[in-house]
Amino acid sequence: MELSLETPALLFSATSLILLAYTNRFLTIAGIVRGLKKNYEENHTKSILLEIKNLNLRLTLIRHMQMYGVLSLFFSVFALTLLFFKVEDWAIYMFGASLLLMLASLAVSFWEISISVRALRVHLSDLIEEANNKE
């Protein structure tokens, strides 16, 4: 198999955009957690604690998504460096590792999104039930 300098470089833009999206998700959830914590200090309801627990899991998953994404970018850059120094065999392995890490990042992202969707459906279930009763 032959690997050119352009192939690992293709991951750069995609990885950068994915990491930006992950960071935006993290910042949004962090803001929600801060608001819920303030709300919990005033109301002490169990539902807020459950939401915070769910968001804590999602923050952990986002941290893993970011870690795998950054490692993917690192291995891709390392593969480029090896290609630059004409060490093609190792460059292929490093690029393969970067692809696997990107797959891991995307898989964890899918997991986090599915948790998010389930949480939103729980919030909407009351409204949907109410709407069905009015029909």
| pLDDT tens figures, 18-57 | 999 999 999 999 999 899 889 888 888 888 888 888 999 9
What does the chain come to in residues? 135
Q: How confident is the model at residue 119 (pLDDT cuts 50, 70, 90)?
A: confident
Classify residue 35: in a domain, yes or no: yes
Classify residue 97: in a domain, yes or no: yes
Query: Into how many domains does the chain fold?
Result: 1
Classify residue 1: in a domain, yes or no: no
Classify residue 74: in a domain, yes or no: yes
Query: Cα dist. 87→2, 5, 73 in Å?
Result: 11, 12, 19
Residue ranges making up the domain that contains 101: 6-134
Q: Using CB atoms within 10 Å of the CB of residue 94, give its burial: 0 to 12 exposed, 13 to 18 middle, 19+ buried.
A: buried
The identity of residue 77, as a single letter, is: V
What is the number of other CB atoms lying within 10 angstroms of the CB of residue 23? 14
- The pLDDT > 90 percentage for the chain reads 57
